[in-house]
Each structure stands twice: as C-alpha cells, then as structure tokens.
Structure 1
Amino acid sequence: MTRLKYSHINIGLLFDWHADRTGQTIVHVDRPADIAPDLGTAFDANTLAATVRDLASALYAAGARHGDKVVIVKDNHFDSVLVAAGAARIGALPVMISPFVPLPMLPVMIAKAAPRLVIAGTTLLAAAVAASVELAPAETPIVTVGEPRDDLPDNAVPLDEFRGAAAVSARPNANAEPMIVTHTSGTTGVPKFVVHSADTAIHSLPPRLERFPLPFMTSRRDDIVAAAIPFFHIRAFLWTASQLAVGPRAMVALSDPAPTEVAKALAAFRPTHVETLPNVFQLWEELADRQPELFARTRLFTSTFDAVHTRTVRKFLNASQRRFPVWAWALAQSEIHAMVGGIVTRPMVNGRRRERSDLTTVGFPPMVRARVVDPVTGQKVPHGTAGLLMISAKGRCLTYLGEDERHRSKVDGKWWNSGDMAISLGFGRYRMVDREVDMIPGMSCIELESTLLDRLANATEIVVLAIPGNLPLPVVCMRDDRLEPAEWTAATHGLPAMQQPRVVPWDQVPRTGTWKVQRAELRARLVGTAAGIGSGNWI
C-alpha cells in the first residue's frame, strides 16, 4: 500500500489509519447505508476500513483507474464519504454532486466533470428517467446504489455486481495533488466545482484546529458527536477527518434533518456535541422549544456555512443543562473553508439588548489574514467603510474544475476575493454585512433579518431581498403562515423602511442542498426578476 506522510489527511487512507491508531469510534447512521443495507446502522473502525477497501476494489472492477474522475450523486447519507474514500484510495478523483441539484442541471454538471464512471442513487436515476433527463451519455457507465428498481437506464449496473472483486492495492494521489471535488451551494446558478488536495483541505488550518484539544471548542474522547450536514459537501470530509483524529466515543451521522426524524436520533443518543447548518438549527428551534431535553447533555453546538442568528443560538444554549455550554460558529466557503468565526456563551446572548445582534462581528483565526477593499479599485478602504472582504489563507482550493479562468479572476496574488461585504472595525475585528450579490446600500440584511427574528417569536425564516429601484422586500415564514399587521408594525419599529412583508410558507422558499435560501430565485418568483442591486461579479 502506498504510504504518504500524514496519511490521516488523505481520505483514501483515513479509515485504515483510524482503525490502526485507535479504532475506538463507532459511527452510527440514522438509516442503513445505500451501498450496503445489510451492514446495519452502526460501523466500528474495522468495518469502516474494510468497506472502503471493498469499495475501492469494486470501483476498479467497474472501470475506474488512477487519474480518472468518478462522479458520485446519490441520496444524502454518510456512505457518500465512504464511496469517495474508495475512489481516492485508488487515485481516482471523486466528484461529489448534491442530489438536490435540479434535474435539468445535473447533465450540465456531469458533462463538465467528464467522468469515467458515475455512481448514482436509484431514486435519483428513476426521477431522471421519469423526467426524460439523460444524466450521462450512453457510453458512460453508471453504477447504481440503493433499492433495486426496474425503471433505470440501460447502462445502469448495480454496485453489487462488482462486489467481491480482487483486492486492489492503495495508490492515492500525493497530498499536494487533487483529492476531492465538491461544489458550491449554487445560490445564483450552476454550482462551481471546487478542487481540493489533502493539503488544502484536511491539512489546512481550520480543520487542524478541530483536531487540537481546545477547551470548550472541540470534541473530546468521551463525546457523542452528532452532525446533520450534506455528506456530499467538503464539510463532510473535514468533519469526518477531524472527528476520527480526535476519536470520540461515537459519531452520529444524520442524513435527514427533518425535526421528527432528528428527534428520534437525539433521543436515542443524547449527543454532547451537535453540528448542523444555521438554517437547519433554525428549523430545529421548535424542537428546542418543545423538547429541550434532547439537548440537555449538549455542551458544544457548532454551526458552519453561514451567519447564525442570535435567537437561534439563545434557544439552544438555554436548552442545554450543562453549566457552561458553548456555541462555536464560522462563516465558511467551499473554496477556502472557515474564514471567520466566534464563540458564543449564554451570558452573551441572554444579557445583550434583544433589539440588536452583533454575532456579525468576527475575528480571524491565526494564520488567516483579511483586508477590506473597494469593489471597483481594489484599494484598501478605511476602517468603518464597507467593502469586499479579501482573505489570505493556506487552505485555498486548487482551482474550479473546468473553469480555471473563473478561479483566477477571484485571486489577487495571495488574496482570495470572498464575494462578501464587510467593514473593518480595527484591532483585527470585522463586521460582516452581506454577500455582495445580495447587498442593499446603507444596511445589512444579515443584521436586519436577525433582529426581526428576535422580535417575531413565531417566525421560522426571514429573508430581506434587495429590489432595484424600490424598498427592500421582507419575506416572512411563520409557524402558522399568519402575520398580523400590528405584529409587523411592532417588529419593525426603529428599523429601516421596507415594503410590506410577503408571507410565504417555509417549504415554498427555494433552497440549495446546503439549505441556503436561493435569493435570486425567490426574488424572481415574487417580483418577476432575479436581478438584485449587487454586481454579482464575484459569485
């Protein structure tokens, strides 16, 4: 087997490394794996390692070779990480695609990847056939995982037909070479494929910090760590690597974030560390209200991806019965991982004035530098002036697959254009404003939405949309789909002028596979145009 320095940072070798090193962590899943339903819902370290080795041999037998690209698009489940690890073990490049990408967009993305092999879930394949969508050309083999079905393409072959193939020696790529391709959220169009190596992904600073025993902020050996995240996203690989390095008592990988399903898992495992996306935590607020005991043992909450609202943090920290529960949060991008973050405690959210959230004020971890520049000139702007946030960090992705020029357009030497608007406050502190594409001059949608959520107890989502030539449009989701005029008048007291709110059911708000609101699509549905005020030059 090929031995690499720091083999635990290469997903193709990670599970062998963990089994050899400690082997103590049990991975629990909320439903049987699509790749092997007979394995049940609990995997010890040796089973995980053996499964990855078997998958590597099966993919090799199906035609994948060192240097080939293998597209993986299936129902959300932790087993997506295992399939990708099997591909990386033989030096193939796994290209992860969300099952939530609109069907007509999938052939475009798969064509851009130009894979040797496609691993697809049978549910998604059947939906594509029903919609007359051909995911890949007939000459591209499709290997299926999931429940057998009769309504699949002729070139689809079950993974089981390749099981039991002769063992294949590990031959992963070097740590500086491409290891994994995931994609961005796609809030504004076709998602970009982001190429990472082991060095830029798992060995970069933010994931390395997760593996250190930082007081209150990272997992411990006695923890039960639960995560409800998209397992096709780069975060899933960073989470898996960091947790296996720490070696907690158990990892609980939740594929379905629906509150009813999550409540069952939380009741069974009572995790001490819980991670999910900010919008999913927001969806779970009702659980924190009605079943706070589910979070009674949780000492650490972690949210990544997007900004998190004060009300959400307050509900979960107050649901915990630990003496000093902590919320660790980060704003992250697939291209450069966690950029900024912070730690929140009970006194911070219970003691401040409820009319204002300052969770948008952030600092940067060590070895990550930031500056704010004018969007037109690229020159650094004074403290207190909003501009584009530029980041310098060693975890920057290698490129965009098939779009090298687009990647280069966001790079200025060592600086990466995040596409976020921010204000430098001095002394290493910054206030996040909005994505540039979503900006509204003179205000912050993030802060405004957080304030409104604090004032509207029954609101489950609030989105403030920029409308060219008009006042901002607030879109409000309420638990009972009702918002009284007097209630809105009280909630907006002292806030910037806005249009009258549109009340939209929560399940009718368009979202990406990472649960981000597709603001352009929502704007198009409500006012007939996707155009906002920001230029969108750096999406």
Structure 2
Amino acid sequence: MRFRKHPTNLGVLFDWHAEADRQTVACLDRPFDIAPDRGTRLSAEQLADTVRDFSARLYAAGARRGDRVAIVKDNHLDMTLAAAAAARFGAVPATISAVNTPEAHRVMIARLAPTVLVVSPGPLARAAAAGVELAGPGTRVVVLGELGEGAPPGALALADLDGAQAPSVRLAGRDDPMLIMHSSGTTGVPKLVVHSAGTMLGGIARMERIRFPVLASKHRDVAATSVSFAHGRIVSWVLGQFVLAPEKIVIISRHGTDVAERMLDEHRPTTLEACPNIFQKWEELALARPELFRRVRLYVGTFDAVHPRTVRTFLKASGRRFPVWLQGWGQSEVGPVCFTLFTRGRMRSRRAGTAVTSDIGWPSPGFNKVRVVDVETGRPVPRDRPGIMMVATKARCLDYLGESDRWRDKARGTWWNTGDVGEAGRFGRLRLVDREVDTIPGTSGIELESVLLDRLPRVSDVTVLGVPGELPVPVLCTTDGRLDPDDWRAACEGLPPLGEPRLVAFEDVPRTATWKVRRHDLREQVLGTKESIGTGRWT
C-alpha cells in the first residue's frame, strides 16, 4: 500500500515505515516473543512483515474486526507490533504488562472480555499457581512459548498458527477505540485506558514528529529506550523515530544493569530514554562505566518524577559539551503535558531542602493547558499555592473500560483531573508536589526523597510515606543493607521531622511496570496498613 503522509492508525504504522524514503533499524536485546526466529536486528520491512504475520495468526485464532485482543506478555517492543497486528484488521488490542499480579490480570481481562488472549508462559504459570483463571470459555488463548503449566484446554502455540493468511486491512475509524493500555496501577488494579487513532497518534504523538532543535532525533542518532512497552508512551516514541529515522533504535526490554551494560556497550547511544527509577538503578553503571554514556547528547525521563542526583550522575557521564536531560510530565490518559530541560549548569542549584527537578516546566503551547485548583472547591488557587492540576487537551482518552463512572468523576467539561498536586509559579511555570493520594501536609514527599538521596550516596532508593496522625516514614534501600545513624542525622538536618527510617532491599520494593513504587503495597508491607492521608479519589 502507498501512503501520502504518515498514518494516524497504529495498524498501518509499520507498513508506512517500510515504504518511507528513510528508514531505521531495530536492534533488540533479545528476539521478539511473537517472532522468536527473526533474530535481534530487524529492518523496516522485517518489522512490517512481523506485524503482517502476527495479524494472520490473530485472525486465524478467531479475532475479528471490533473484537478485543488482550496482550499479556513479558516486556518488549513486540507488544506494540502485536497491537498493530490486531489494529490492522480493526480489532482493538489491549497491552498489559506481565508484571501485574494474577489477581489484577484476572480483573483486567474480565473487563476486556477478549476474543483472543495472547500471553507469555510466565503470567500464565503464576496465575495457575495462585489458582486464578485468566480467561473464560469464550476466549481463545495463544501462548507465546511452550504450552506448559496453566495453559487451558484448547490453547494454541505460535506453531499451531503457522501458514495463516493475513486478513485485509480494515482500520477502525479515527474516533473509534483503537488501543487500550493500562495505567501504572500504583494504588490497585490498573485502569484500562481507551484511546482512538485521533487521541493517540493524532493527539498524544503529535509532538514526536516535530523536528525540535536538540530534542528531535537526527539521521545519525542512535536512539535507545528502556521503558514499559505496555504503555502508550512507546507508541508515540515509535511514531517519532519512524518519522525522524535515526540510524537505529536500540531496544532494552530488560532493565537489569547486566543487559543494559551489554546493549549500551554494543551500540553506544546518542539519545537514551528510560523510566526515572530505571535510570536511578543504572546510576551504579554510570559511575562504574561512564564511557557507555559518552556519546549521549539527550536523556529523556518519563512516567515518574526524577531526582537531582540521578540527573547529575548521567549528565556528568556524558562526554558531550552540552548534554541535556528532557523531563516530561503527563499521564496515559492525556499523554505528555509539560516538559522541562536540565543542564549541568542548572543542576548545580542546591537550595537547602528543595529539588530543582520538582520543576516540570510549562504546558506544551498549542497542545495543552493546565490550571491548578483547590481540591475542595475546584476553583483556581493563587500563585505558589498547592492544588490539583487540571489538564485540557484534545488527546484525552475516551474512557476507562469497565469503569466509566471513574472516568466521568475525573472529567470536568474539557478539563481532566490528573490527581497530581502542583503549584503554578511565575509566568505559569509548574512545580510537582505529590500525588493527591500521597499527600504529606506542609511538605512534598517527592522533594524529601530527592534531598535525602542527594545527602545519602550509599542509598539507592527512598520512599517517604505519609502516615495519618504520625510523622512521615522514610523507607530506604541501601547498597549494603545498613544505615549509619550519624549519616542519617546529618541527612535530616533542616528537613521537616521524620519518623524512624525503615530499611528494605531494593528487590523487595513492590513496583509497577514503569518501576514506580506501589506505595499502598509498600505501606502495608512496612507499616501493616494501607491508610494514607490523601483521599485517593482521583487515582
């Protein structure tokens, strides 16, 4: 098929890229689960052919136009290819991370009522061990691997669908559901966020196509990413890279430092994107082997707040004269809203008790508007006063599948309640304070965490939990499982009073697919309760 301009439907995005004048190559840390025999270096045509092949397999498994296809699999870019394969004939794919609990998977799949469930062996086996049945009798299960423990009767392996013929391209309408993804799920079962072609590729991804100086990929760039591929961010990123066509894209699907070290050593990226807590874990790599980051001119952090120590560490590791860190703030429901840039010079700012990275910049002009309102009345609050941040954008999601009442509770005309608390400063510049559910009266948990990380170099992670009627409780991950009392007293100097610190191993901290801390679960794990100060109404 020939295209006059870039598509706004995911179903033909890979076909479009295969026919573009300039193309990029995908370099993977491991083969795709949906195409395990295709290796780890795929051209644009091979990517498009993988989508066509998997589209044929989904159709042969019984999926049809208008049906939902649930994709519950291990983290990799092929989640996006599998979603494109379903969207190609008008089915509605839902991408779900394998790291969710079996109980969360059961709830989300029940809401989806999919015709076909594509699933990795891991979540299938974990569900079986927990006594959870992921799919009902009306769902055909396709297992991306061996039909082992937990595979229901009638389940299919990829090989069972060999030789299937690709169906005709029949895309959903611009305003019809095209893709379902889930929210981070820090406070419970993730919400199923429904987007159309218009709100996703035509809305959220619009800025990715623009050739902004410094920020946009160039043909000589090597663009690497290590994020949760279950989320809509990767769809926007893929569109941007396909339009801008860097030399290659590097996919790091497993976030451990061993895999990251191997891929960064082999490909030496010039731009690098990851979730902030992944960058935080990689700090040890940047300190031990800074040469891996010497060519990086642009770092991109998305999905969560970032801490100053992390930004400084990676900017220092770069061998460029003027490396830049781009930090975005947004949500799956509305896409990216605000951006700000950090440079080495800006990161030298260390005002006592504050964190420069709490600054999230301004709303993207021409794309979004933000206002800060009182949590009780909904009226705008004065400058430098905390309030709930409301966003107006044409990229707002269509619904929460199975939870429309929850969606309507957050929608106020054209405005969307983000559930994030922030402040508007001079000229409308925004500062992120906390999630409303994680509020700590009189202070910012995010800033406390940033300051403590700065002052405690042997601490790899900090989470400050607000406790009703008590002092906030800091939960720390240290490199050796110990915390010197004198170091702790020095770190707390000038900060609001804090409770006694609790030590937890990094690997024992419950996290989402984007490596955000599941604060409710951590609160129960450490304190024996999920009770928080915030209402959690807009989570």
* TM-score calculated relative to the size of structure 2: 0.97
Q: CA deviation at 1:122?
A: 2.0
Q: How does 1:345-356 map to 2 (within 5 A)?
A: 345-353=343-351, 356=354
Match in the other structure for 1:516: 516
Equivalent residues in 2 for 1:134-149 (5 A)? 134-147=133-146, 149=148
Cα 1:177–1:400 shift into 2, 3 Å? same
* Aligned mates of 1:238, 1:349 — CA distance in 2: 28
CA distance in structure 2 between the partners assigned to 1:88 and 1:22 by the alignment: 24
Deviation at 1:147, TM superposition (A): 4.3
Q: 1:286 aligns to what?
A: 284
Residue 528 of structure 2 corresponds to: 528
- DSSP-derived class of the 2:201 partner: coil
CA-to-partner distance for each residue in 1:161-218, whole Å, 9 max, x for gaps? 22322231111112222110000011111110000112111222x5322222211112
Selected match of 2:222 from 210, 221, 224: 224
3-state SS of 1:66 partner = coil
SS in 2 for 1:346: coil
Q: Which residue of 2 aligns with 1:233?
A: 231
Aligned to 1:189: 188
Q: Partners of 1:226 and 1:354 in 2: how far apart? A: 35
Per-residue deviation, residues 502-524 of structure 1 (Å, max 9, x unmatched): 11111111111111101111111
Contact 2:127 2:150 in 1 (8 A): no
CA distance in 1, matches of 2:248, 2:4: 27
Q: What is the number of residues matched between the two proteins?
A: 537
Counterpart in the other structure of 1:300: 298
> Which whole-Å deviations, capped at 9, do the CAs of 1:442-488 have from their partners, x for residues lacking one?
00011111111111111111011000010100111111111100000
- What's the CA shift for 1:131? 3.0
Give per-residue Cα distances to partners, 1:29-75, cap 9 Å, x unaligned: 10111112110001101111111111112111111110000000011
Q: Distance in 2 between matches of 1:444 and 1:290?
A: 32
1:7 CA drift (Å): 4.8
Matched-pair contact (CA < 8 Å) for 1:7–1:13: no
Contact 1:138 1:155 in 2 (8 A): no
For 1:160-199, list aligned pairs within 5 A: 160-199=159-198
Question: Partners of 1:223 and 1:198 in 2: how far apart?
Answer: 28
**2:185 is aligned with what amino acid?**
G
- Which runs of 5 or more residues in structure 1 are unaligned? none
Q: 1:342 to 1:387 in 2, by over 3 A?
A: same
d(CA) in 1 for partners of 2:9, 2:321: 37
Does the Cα contact within 8 Å between 1:355 and 1:454 map onto a contact in 2? no
Tell me which amino acid in the other structure corresponds to 1:471. L
Tell me, yes or no, if the aligned pair for 1:295 and 1:319 is still in contact at 8 Å.
yes
1:316 to 314, 317, 322: 314
**Does the 8 Å CA contact 1:8/1:241 hold for their aligned counterparts?**
no
Following the alignment from structure 1 to structure 2, what is the Cα–Cα distance between the partners of residues 227 and 426? Answer: 34
Task: Indicate if the aligned counterparts of 2:294 and 2:318 stay in contact, CA closer than 8 A.
Answer: yes
Q: Secondary structure at the match of 2:345?
A: helix
> For 2:379 and 2:131, how far apart are their aligned partners in 1?
50
Letter in 1 for 2:307: H
Task: Sort the Cα spacing of 1:538 and 1:351 in 2 relative to 1 into closer, same or farther, 3 A.
Answer: closer
State the match for 1:455 in structure 2.
455
3-state SS of 1:39 partner: coil
Q: Partners in 1 of 2:470 and 2:129 — Cα distance? A: 42
Q: Percent same amino acid among aligned pairs?
A: 47
Deviation, 1:351, is 5.0
SS at match of 1:363: strand
Aligned partners of 2:124, 2:102: CA distance in 1, in Å?
10
- Equivalent pair of 2:118/2:141 in contact (CA under 8 Å): yes
Does the residue aligned with 1:498 lie in a helix, a strand or coil? Answer: coil
Q: 2:340 is matched with which residue: 337, 342, 352?
A: 342
- Per-residue CA shift, 1:288-342, capped at 9, x if unaligned? 1101011011111001011111110000000000111110011121101112220
**What secondary structure, in the 3-state scheme, does the structure 2 residue paired with 1:65 have?**
coil
Q: Distance in 1 between matches of 2:408 and 2:149?
A: 45
Separation of aligned partners in 2, 1:293 and 1:207: 32
**Number of the residue aligned with 1:332:** 330
The aligned counterpart of 2:358 is 360
Structure 2 alignment gaps of length 5 or more? none
State the AA in 2 paired with 1:103: P
1:127 matched to which residue of 2? 126
Q: TM-score, length-normalised on structure 1?
A: 0.97
2:340 aligned counterpart, secondary structure = strand
CA distance in 1, matches of 2:146, 2:457: 42
How many Å separate the matches in 1 of 2:200 and 2:528? 40
Determine the structure 2 residue equivalent to 1:493: 493
In the alignment, which residue of structure 2 is the partner of 1:430?
430
2:46 counterpart residue number: 47
2 CA distance for matches of 1:303 and 1:404?
30
The amino acid that maps onto 1:453 is L
Is the 2:67–2:115 contact (alpha carbons within 8 Å) kept by the matching residues of 1?
A: yes
Structure 2 counterpart SS, 1:427 = helix
AA partner of residue 160 (structure 2): E
Which residue number corresponds to residue 263 of structure 1?
A: 261
Letter paired with 1:313: V
Measure, in 2, the Cα distance between the counterparts of 1:81 and 1:104: 24
Cα deviation 1:420-450 (Å, max 9, x = unaligned): 1111213121221100000011000111111
Q: 1:384 corresponds to which letter in structure 2?
A: D
Instruction: Tell me how far apart the structure 2 counterparts of residues 132 and 385 of structure 1 sit (CA, whole Å).
Output: 49
Question: Do the aligned partners of residues 381 and 494 (structure 1) sit closer, same or farther apart at CA in structure 2, a change above 3 Å counting?
Answer: same
SS of aligned partner of 2:363? coil
In the alignment, what sits opposite 1:211? 209
Query: Distance between the aligned counterparts of 1:414 and 1:351, measured in 2?
Result: 37
Partner of 2:12: 13
Q: Report how far residue 105 of structure 1 moved.
A: 2.1
Name the counterpart of 1:152: 151
Matched, 1:478 2:478: yes
CA–CA separation in structure 2 for the residues paired with 1:151 and 1:497:
50
Q: Which residue of 2 aligns with 1:381?
A: 381
1:28 equivalenced with 2:31 (yes/no): no
Does the aligned pair in 1 maintain the 2:460–2:478 contact within 8 Å?
A: yes
Tell me how far apart the structure 1 counterparts of residues 83 and 487 of structure 2 sit (CA, whole Å): 49
Q: Distance in 2 between matches of 1:60 and 1:243?
A: 28
What SS does the aligned partner of 2:97 have?
coil
Which piece of structure 1 moves more, 185-194 or 54-63?
54-63
Equivalent pair of 1:23/1:44 in contact (CA under 8 Å): no
**Distance of 2:148 and 2:452 partners within structure 1:** 47
Is 1:328–1:344's contact at 8 Å kept on the other side of the alignment?
Answer: yes
Please give the secondary structure, in 2, of the residue aligned with 1:179: strand
Is the contact between residue 355 and residue 455 of structure 1 (CA under 8 Å) also seen in structure 2? no
Residue 352 of structure 1, CA deviation? 4.4
Once residues 478 and 218 of structure 1 are traced to their aligned partners in structure 2, the CA distance between those partners, rounded to angstroms, is 37
SS of aligned partner of 1:340: strand
Q: Is the CA contact 1:4–1:175 (under 8 Å) kept in the aligned structure 2?
A: no
